[in-house]
Structure 1
Amino acid sequence: MSKAVRAVPVSPAMVQQRASDLVGSDARVLLLRAHPEWTAGPVKVGDREVRVVTAVSQLAVLDAYASLGPDDYAVILTDRPSSDLGDAVLARAYKQRVEMPDEWQAVPRLFPGAREVSRELRRLDWAATALLDHRPVGDWPRSPEIAVGAAHAIGALLAHLVGLRVDAELDGAVLLTALGKRDNRSRWAEVDVSLRRHLIAWAGAELGAPAAFALKVAQRQELVMPLAVGLALDVLWPVDGSIPNELQIAARVRAERFVDGKTIPVTEATAVASVARATVQRAAVDDDADIAVALKQAEALLGDLGWAIGAERSSVLRPGYYARERALAVALDSGTGIEDALSAVLEHRDANGVPTMAVRLHRWLAGPEVEPSSLAGDLQRQLNDGAWVDAALGAVCRAATDPVVAETYQRLVTKVRDRRAGRDELAAHRLAQAATFGRQATPGTDAIGVERILGDVVEPLRRGGGALLVVLDGLSGAVAVMLASEIARLGFVEHVPMVSLQRLGAVAILPTLTRRSRTSLFCGAVREGDADQEKKGLRSAFPGSILFHKNDLRAESGAALPTDVASALADEKVPVVGVVVNAIDDAIHKTDVSDTDWKLTDLHPLRALLEAAIASRRTVIVTSDHGHVVERGTETLPAPGTDSRWRPVRNPVRPGEVEVSGPRVVVPDGAAVLLWREDLRYGPRRSGYHGGASLAEVTVPVLVFQPATALADTLAGWVSAPPQVPGWWNDPADGPALAPPVSRSRKKRKPAPAPVADQDALFAVEREATPDPEADLVDALLASSAYADQHRRAGRHALSGDAVAAFLRPILQRGGRAHQDTVAATAGIPAVELGQRFAVVKRLLNVDGYEVLKVDSDGVTYRIDIELLGEQFELGGLK
């Protein structure tokens, strides 16, 4: 005896599907075994209307037949089996039978490309009705398989119910974010309770605990974002596994109200917290208002849970950043734990460059102050070191939000400015002697005057295919060091004099004013003049050359460069194209530049000029006529009728001033008084000044670049530059010493001869010899038999022992970790060759695949496992 089939309610979507089948057939009536209840009215199939009739008996079915017109269609819902209806009824019905309401039969047609339903989807006995009842306009997304799968179908259903596109790829992060929108939470809360329960269970099993958590929170919390609750869990259950205090435990219990009052398992809490944290870290608050609201809500939730201070432990909430920044301030004041405190700050999503700059300044202050013996040394130190200090100082001088941090930064800035003032005073008095300097100078060995840039730099460099000379009026060393890396990223290779491997610096005409220094630069001799004289000067030095000033740089609408400028750069017959960009000098007279991070986009049309130079393969020289100092609380030194930073010699020299005279001092009587202290001025307050004697004003940076596509040997006497960044910029200044020597005999190396300073050459650049220990870990490595075997296997690709030692020492001197720029700068390795050098040394040290040398997880730090190095190369005696 067959089991009776119970009549069940059917969904409108199911009736719609069967009505479509009916209209496409020759029949007019379809009998559907279902609970005889219907209130929705007729359904539409195209332009056809199909009646839906209920019938509880054979007679009721026959009455329905009788009521039909000749063109009418009807779906009859009856709970009677076919045996009760009789042949007369069945004969007129669709397929001459009572159709069973198997909703799974309708599901494949909802998913284009599908012809059946997968077994895993059929196991979800609630899914067919849900897919039919919540069918979106345009159907569900195309199925990638013939049998539509559960992940595809239920994922589309869930996405639709929370307000996303039906083809959205779901995971915990997506749901936490989507349910941050109040409309989506409201939409989800309106879903049938039973269906929500099924979908939450499915999401937990298929998408993970964070997805189910987001759905659970959203179904009851109309105002609270699931992401905000997740961020609160991030500090209630921290990743470090620290032991919670009483307030934290109590807050955990109170948090249960967000998930139906149920206990939150540790594994679920930490999984949700991890996804919530990662979701926020990937987003930009400024671009996503919902993320910003979630962050503020999380802070408020922790307060509501009775543990507001917990927000200070967060790596994403704003109080967490303030707490870490204050901890760094305490470390800076005490001088201990600074690097660890900085690492903690940088782990927070709100971290910016200011704390890093503050620590860099502290490293600089902690390092030794070796005094140069000449003005050339002062200028070179300004480019190598002081310009970087000035760049960091500009960042730290910006006011911190927290008053405790602001006070710490102010104390740090005061110390830095005091040391910088000492350098400026020393150089200023040497400048007074050097004002009479006029002998021939060798770039890279001696300091040169700005009037020598054409003859000593541009002349030899333009022979390789023409040059682009860009004079950024007012360019200081601090701005230059930041622009250099950006220029290199355009496709240039920086070059420096072979004899020094350092950027070249020149000294400005005094006072450091445009009409003196810039005219002297373009005329190749000490002059005072205007733009016309500058153009004549460049043409005289290099016949056929063209100089463009501000008014010449206004391009036609839609063009990056004026036609004349672009044509000159492309014309091989133009030996030197000169361009003056006034953006910096204009800005320091008109706007506040104390916190300006100068970029190529701020110096229009510099980027377009550089790109044109790449196309024409011109060597690029970027320089200035003088530098500038920034307004940071200057005091007025009375001197009526004077300019901002210099005055005539009428009164005795006061503290902070220096008197200069001679042929390079271009004033009516050949003598002037200049301010060397940055915190003084004569004239009205401006955002920046020049004309004085500080190193930031008198040092003229000379940057040389060659397109990466050009031949490297076209710049005679110049070579690809190693990184010019000082060691303290990326690495702690005081790293551990080299490992102690091992007890084995070694051939002693001859110490490098000490430099001999030319006492008569005021501008001679002194060389500091790096001590080479007689016996250390590197010596032991190079002397080992295992290293000899590795070196022999390397064949023609092997490096010399000196090259390997130069690469390894900076890393070992810092305890086995050093930034790649520090290694390259110390070893004199061109930046463009560093990757290849690292690969060669790595092959030498990484015996049998063991990683003695590797790149750290940050991608820029080289790391040596010192213990493994000793084991692999049998270096006994390591401690």
Structure 2
Amino acid sequence: MNGQAAVQSTVSTAVVRSLISAARKHSTQRVIGLRAVPDADAERRFADSGERVHVLPCVSSLAIRDALRNRAGDEWLVILTDRPEEDLGAGILGHFANQRLQTPGAWEALKERFGADRIDRPLSTLKQRLPVAQGLLRITPDEGWPAAPGAVLTIDHAFASVAERQLALQRGPVDGLSVLDWTMRTDATDRMADLREFGGNELADAVLQWLTDRAGLAGKPLLRFLLTGRAAEAVPVGIALNVLTETGGRTAQDRQLSELALARLEHLWAGSAEPITPSMLAALGKSARNVVEAQLEDPARWQEAHAALQAADRLLTKIQASSLGRDSQLLPAGLTAMLQRLAETLRSFPGSGIDAVEKAWAAAEDHRLAYPLRGNAQDPRVAPFHAAVRLARWLTGDYALPDSFISAVHLHAHVHAWVDTAYNDVAAGVSDQLLGEGLATILRLTEQRRHGHDREFARLLATSTSSDEGRAAGRLDGAGDPVWHLERLLPSVVLPLARAKNTLLLVLDGMSAASAAELASTVLHGNEGWAEVIPAASERRGSAVAVMPTLTNLSRASLFSGQLTSGGQSRELSGFTALTKAGGIAQSQLFHKAPLDSSRPGLALQDDISVVIADQQTPLVACVLNTIDDALDKSDPAGTTWTPDTIRHLRPLLSAAMAAGRTVVMTSDHGHIVERRRGELRAFGETSSARSRLPETPIGEDEVLVQGRRVLAEGGRAVLAVDETLRYGPIKAGYHGGASPAEVVVPIVVLVPGDNVPDGWKLAPSQEPLWWSVVAGGGAARPAIPGAGLTKTAKDNTPSMLDILDSSDPVPAAPRLGAAVVSSGMYKAQKAIAGRLAVSDSQVASLVDALAAGSGTRLAKEAAAVVLQVAPARMDGAVAQLQKLLNVEGYGVLRVDGSMLVLDARLLREQFGVTDHG
């Protein structure tokens, strides 16, 4: 080949840069001679790595000599000439790098830019290989391309480098999932457009072909989205395809609908070089689903995944196939359909039966959008329906009325407090009328049952008050835990605690048992080190009975004074000081709202309060927090989730107590009821509150007359409203003063740092009722609340586990999986190997049944603690013992998955040789 035949018509700046880069490494000369057409328009100047470059066409050896004579010493001179080397002679060639004319080839330049000695065949034999190479040179980064492994430039290395640098694909193996994930970037389309503009169509097409080749069967339809600049549509369309191509279990009508919908999408594949087959579309759908499911697990990516799912919903509607998404565990429309089915079962409850409710709820609960990792993204419909299912479980139990006042207090504190919490969540409602009808049925049934319980509570309250029950001891005695008169709470409970260990008393004005249940749950599950304790002889959280009427100036003054009295803050302060000194507490402090609110800027607590809490010489510090009571006038107590953050000052007070190692007692002076805009105003001449009045007119069925020593208003006799719909004053957000259990029962929550349990106390088991967390029929019976003393009066439905929970006499459950396991020979052998155990056979059986009935045979640790009736702080130890018993030879029958316990029911039956008969 002669020199003239090898002359290039043009030499790109990218090629010039690569030759200069090579010359820097291998030569000291700063002149490069290139065989090229010396077109005058080819002259140009630019900078490379901070050095000036002059590209100069020269038509003769004389022109070359002149260029060499006139060049600046600090610049690179690149001479373009078509003269053969023989015409130039050794004198001119000696000035050139490598002492010769070079033939500028794009592939040779490309090898240099990638630090390669050779190029593999798949890359060098590409169609349009020269434009591809030129495109790679044009978009070479200033810092150069990553060096080719083994000095061999492969198509994978070249195009993966482009994908990372130009398209911003994450470094790592490129496959269909990574490409689909990349299409969801907001700048994906712009980056593809930039690649086309600067690298050329040939390079862009080759890179996109290479990317989609790695997607397997999904590659061909995916390529159409990329080539047409519609990358953002790939995942939403893929999700829709996943729905359309999942034909298992579908009716003939649905299969026909799916085929028609796929036909309506055929325009998307128009122009494809190869036919797009159903298997390709199914593969794209599966890959898109995998990508979105992975993103839903990442809080940072949740929103874009949800947007893609919404777009898929819209597409299915557009192609008239929205009904096919009703069973999707991924699409928003699927969650809506599942909630609609649940609403339908609730709307016909109890006729539909609790099993139908549980089945419908399990489907909705398992939906990927029901409980996202991003709590603030949670579908607002889920919480009301979860609460409605909880109430349905409770309603499935026996309708039973208490037969004594202490049993009525226990019933409210230990069961109905949680009912009220769930009721508030359901009452928040949803915006969809069809869904709302299902919730309305549960609300109505709950109101009917609570209505009867509340009236019976008020009747028993009146009897207990008039007989002055518990006067001598300051408490109600009977079966189960004692219930304190509120005025005896400090001398009988708080002061003994303070004498043993420094204590912080927090009186949350207006906190009902329901509010306390919600608040205590958030504190105990907040990973801040608090544990709840109860007296060693007790089984449940303590309670007290407010003074009548249930007003702040009566109950709070009596609480702090240790005796029945009335008055404001000055009376509370004087009574508290006298009471604590008489009780052997030399140093004590009581803080009301004003000093708590006067903290310096930048501080969560007023200086004096922080100092006193930290002071080991002050055994008892008391603070009054008014947030809940204030909400009855100014906001929405039912719509507020009570946490340490929603109650002003509570979190810093708890933090200060934790730092000082103080025991914390959280209680209140009275509870409250909520205004739901369905109440009745009944005007009377003399009223002491919106819920209490003088007995000047006949008493209605929704009222009760209380009289006796603990009635501190109206001359020892007062009429109190019972039904929550009755009030005597102007409308507010909520009220107190009446005789409903929500107003009368005062919760007592005692918290300790870590496991620093005071003498005479013990760690409390989880306080939630079983129906709060476990499906109906999903666990063996546990004893009812000690001393509940419930008298059966009516029965709503077929007996279930909940019947057992609501009865005073435990009833043996039918033989089930848990019972079969603990009766097996293998279980007995495992017990012998495990040695001393703290969990009983009945606890093991209960948990096995609860897990077996749970969705996916999974149960949250908090729910498992309720089933086992162990303190949350003891759960890790309990789980370890359960695994010793159930994981035969180390096989994972019971395993921990984050915050969940997971049971392999098949393996359990196999290992223990059992079947269940439940």
**Same topology, TM > 0.5:** yes
Aligned to 1:97: 100
1:323 aligns with 2:326: no
Which letter does structure 2 place at the counterpart of 1:567? V
* 1:195 correspondence with 2:209: no
- How many Å separate the matches in 1 of 2:18 and 2:190? 30
SS of alignment partner, residue 402 of structure 2: coil
Offset at residue 731 of structure 1 (A): 1.6
- Aligned-partner SS, 1:439: coil
Alignment check: 8 A CA contact 1:44 1:50 kept: yes
1:775-832 CA distance string (max 9 Å, x none) = 987777666554443333223x3457xx123332353378565845555445432222
Q: Is the 8 A contact 1:180 1:294 kept in 2?
A: no
- The answer as to whether partners of 1:140 and 1:166 remain within 8 angstroms in 2 is no
The one-letter amino acid paired with 2:662 is R
Identity %, equivalent residues: 31
What does residue 163 of structure 2 align with? 158
Q: Give the SS at the match of 1:595.
A: coil
CA contact (8 A) 1:200 1:216 kept: no
Letter in 2 for 1:701: P
- Where do residues 346-495 of structure 1 align in structure 2 (5 Å cutoff)? 346=365, 347-349=367-369, 351=379, 352-435=382-465, 436-437=468-469, 438-440=471-473, 441=475, 445-488=481-524, 489=526, 490-495=528-533
Is 2:221–2:281's contact at 8 Å kept on the other side of the alignment? Answer: no
| Alpha-carbon offset, residue 411 of structure 1 | 1.6
Give deviations 1:41-71, integer Å, cap 9, x for gaps.
322135643222346xxx5465344345132
Q: Which of 133, 139, 162 is equivalent to 1:134?
A: 139
Pick one of 312, 316, 333 that aligns with 1:298: 312
Q: Is the counterpart of residue 14 in structure 1 residue 15 in structure 2?
A: yes
Q: Show the 5 A alignment for 1:328-727.
A: 328-334=342-348, 335=352, 337-346=356-365, 347-349=367-369, 351=379, 352-435=382-465, 436-437=468-469, 438-440=471-473, 441=475, 445-488=481-524, 489=526, 490-542=528-580, 543-553=586-596, 554-641=598-685, 642=687, 643-708=689-754, 711-712=756-757, 714-716=758-760, 718-727=761-770
Rounded to whole Å, the distance in 1 between the matches of 2:491 and 2:862 is: 32
Quote how far apart the aligned CAs of 1:232 are. 2.6
| Distance (Å, rounded) in 1 between the aligned partners of 2:788 and 2:305 | 63
Whichever residue aligns with residue 476 of structure 1, its letter is S
Change beyond 3 A, Cα 1:182–1:858: same
CA contact (8 A) 1:320 1:348 kept: no
Equivalent in the alignment of 1:746: none
1:263-288, Cα deviation, whole Å (9 max, x unpaired): 25144323333145326634679995
1:735-790 deviations in whole A, cap 9, x for unaligned?
4889xxxxxxxxxxxx99x989899xxxxxx9934345899877776665544433
- Does structure 1 retain, via aligned residues, the 8 Å contact 2:637–2:674? yes
SS of 2:495 mapped into structure 1: helix
SS at match of 1:95: helix
Instruction: Work out whether residues 631 and 688 of structure 1, in 8 Å CA contact, stay in contact via their aligned partners in 2.
Output: yes
Change beyond 3 A, Cα 1:121–1:494: farther
Q: Does the Cα contact within 8 Å between 1:51 and 1:73 map onto a contact in 2?
A: yes
The partner residue of 2:264 within 254, 258, 263 is 254
> TM-score when scaled to structure 1?
0.85
In the alignment, which residue of structure 2 is the partner of 1:27? 29
3-state DSSP class of the match of 1:367?
Answer: coil
**Secondary structure of 2:623's partner?**
strand
Shift of residue 369, structure 1, vs aligned partner: 2.8
Conservation of the 8 A alpha-carbon contact between 2:886 and 2:894: no
Query: Could you say if the C-alpha distance between residues 813 and 198 of structure 1 is closer, same or farther in structure 2, counting changes exceeding 3 Å?
Result: closer
Contact 2:508 2:666 in 1 (8 A): yes
Partners of 1:116 and 1:146 within 8 A in 2: yes
- Aligned 8 A contact 1:180 1:226 in 2: no
Kept in 2, the 8 Å contact 1:513–1:626? The answer is yes
Partner of 1:808: 845
Tell me what 2:874 maps to: 833
Whether the aligned pair in 2 keeps the contact of 1:466 and 1:574 (CA below 8 Å) is yes
Q: How far off its partner does 1:862 sit?
A: 5.7
Deviation of 1:376 after TM superposition, in Å, equals 1.5
Distance 1:109 1:772, change over 3 A: same
Deviation at 1:452, TM superposition (A): 1.8
Which letter does structure 1 place at the counterpart of 2:900?
A: V
Evaluate the alpha carbon distance shift between residue 471 and residue 210 of structure 1 in structure 2; reply closer, same or farther with a 3 A threshold.
Answer: farther
Task: Measure, in 1, the Cα distance between the counterparts of 2:695 and 2:916.
Answer: 68
> Deviations along 1:679-702, whole A, 9 cap, x unmatched?
222211111111111111111111
Taking structure 1 as reference, are residues 783 and 331 closer, same or farther at Cα in structure 2, changes over 3 Å only? closer
Corresponding residue SS for 1:42: strand
Displacement of 1:704:
0.7
1:273 and 2:298 are equivalent in the alignment: no
Which structure 1 residue ranges, 5 or more long, are not aligned? 739-750, 760-765
Structure 2 partner of 1:66: 66
Match of 2:799 in 1: none
Contact between 1:179 and 1:226, CA under 8 Å: does it hold in 2? no
Distance 1:120 1:340, change over 3 A: farther
- RMSD, aligned α-carbons: 4.1
Cα distance, 1:273–1:629 mapped onto 2, change above 3 Å: same
Q: CA deviation at 1:417?
A: 1.0
How far off is 1:567 after superposition?
0.7
Letter of the structure 2 residue corresponding to residue 579 of structure 1: C
Matched, 1:229 2:237: yes
SS at match of 1:602: coil
**Superposition deviation, residue 840 in structure 1:** 1.6
**1:720, CA displacement in angstroms?**
0.6
Alignment of 1:40-55 (within 5 A): 41-45=44-48, 48-54=51-57
Given the two structures, how large is their TM-score scaled by the length of structure 2?
A: 0.82
Residue pair 1:103, 1:128 contacting (<8 A) in 2 also: yes
**5+ residue gaps, structure 2:** 371-378, 581-585, 792-805
Cα offset for 1:556? 1.0
Query: CA offsets, 1:108-157, max 9 Å, x none?
Result: 8868xx78889699679667544432234665679999989876764442
Relative to structure 2, which stretch is displaced further, 62-71 or 613-622? Answer: 62-71
Q: How far apart, CA to CA, are the structure 1 residues paired with 2:894 and 2:148?
A: 46
| SS of equivalent residue, structure 1 residue 301 | helix
Secondary structure of the residue aligned to 1:469 is strand
Structure 1 residue 318 displacement after superposition:
3.5
Aligned length: 846
Deviates more, 1:535-544 or 1:505-514: 535-544
Give the superposition deviation at 1:394. Answer: 1.1
Equivalent in the alignment of 1:860: 900
Name 2:798's counterpart in structure 1.
Answer: none
476-485 or 697-706: which moved more?
A: 476-485
> Could you say if the C-alpha distance between residues 27 and 305 of structure 1 is closer, same or farther in structure 2, counting changes exceeding 3 Å?
same
Q: Residue 494 of structure 1: CA displacement?
A: 0.8
